[in-house]
Amino acid sequence: MKKVLFAVVLFVLSASVYAQKDVTRFLGIPIDGSKSEMIRKLKAKGFETSPYREDILTGEFNGVSVNVGVGTNNNKVYRIFVQDALPQSEGDIIIRFNRLCRQFKENGKYLCLDDYTIPDGEDVGYEITVNNKRYEASFYQLPTDSTTFYNEIIDIISEQYSQDELKELSDDERVALVSRISFDLLSKRSVWFKIGEQYGVYMIQMYYDNGYNMADGQDL
């Protein structure tokens, strides 16, 4: 990995690239563009309009019946929200949460930085209602195109440093720089889920986020 990062730095010293962005995907669909366009693409995947709300879709995802919502900021899609259509008991939701944790961890499309599984014997209902504990798991969707990802890194470094400034950095400083920017880019490709609770029943709520389109205070 260190050799790869160093190679990126060397490329920066000799190239100027303006990168496109490789954004988070849901079922292979880039989370970007307009809401109407996203809904059309989701319907092409088999989802249907909910009989109760026009802006919610229903269908099956990862073997479970779900409701799907589309979040926008400045008329651009930044989030796909997926929630179980049918609530579950405490015991069943623990099994489902831990199964999802394992599925994401074993999926080569994601970076996992922690073990989020719920330990045996934990009283989830008590922890949520009394201690306000949040059961969440966060993962980072790896780039679908490594060339685009590297070009994004190069573009950011080129904006922050001149070639002379880069040459003055030590090898370790250059690798640390690329590592930091790489993680910053991955953080914009967040996929996370949590246990939601309502009236003593539970459901999984999942969020596929495109950090590039999220509000960052520009409207304040």
Each domain of the chain, given as residue ranges in start order, spans: 2-211
CA–centroid distance for 74 within its chain: 20
pLDDT the model gives residue 116: 97
- β-partners of residue 110 are 141
Report the distance separating Cα 90 and Cα 218, nearest Å.
Answer: 41
Q: 88, 46, 127: which is closest to 205 by C-alpha?
A: 88
pLDDT the model gives residue 181: 85
* H helix or E strand, kind and range, residue 129: helix 124-129
pLDDT the model gives residue 18: 45
CA–centroid distance for 149 within its chain: 15
179 φ, ψ to 5°?
-60, -45
- pLDDT, averaged per 10 consecutive residues of the chain (220 residues), comes to 48 46 92 96 97 94 97 96 96 97 95 94 94 96 81 82 82 84 88 94 97 84
CA–centroid distance for 84 within its chain: 18
* H helix or E strand, kind and range, residue 171: helix 171-187
Cβ atoms of 193 and 206 within 8 Å: the answer is yes
Range list of β-strands (E), the chain: 25-26, 29-30, 48-49, 56-61, 64-73, 76-84, 110-111, 136-141, 190-198, 201-209
- β-partners of residue 206 are 82, 193
Helix axes 146-160, 171-187, angle to 10 degrees: 120
Cβ atoms of 191 and 139 within 8 Å: the answer is yes
143 φ, ψ to 5°?
-60, 145
Q: Which tokens belong to 115? A: 């073990």
pLDDT the model gives residue 122: 95
pLDDT the model gives residue 148: 78
What pTM was computed for the model? 0.84
User: 155 by DSSP, 3-state: which?
Assistant: helix
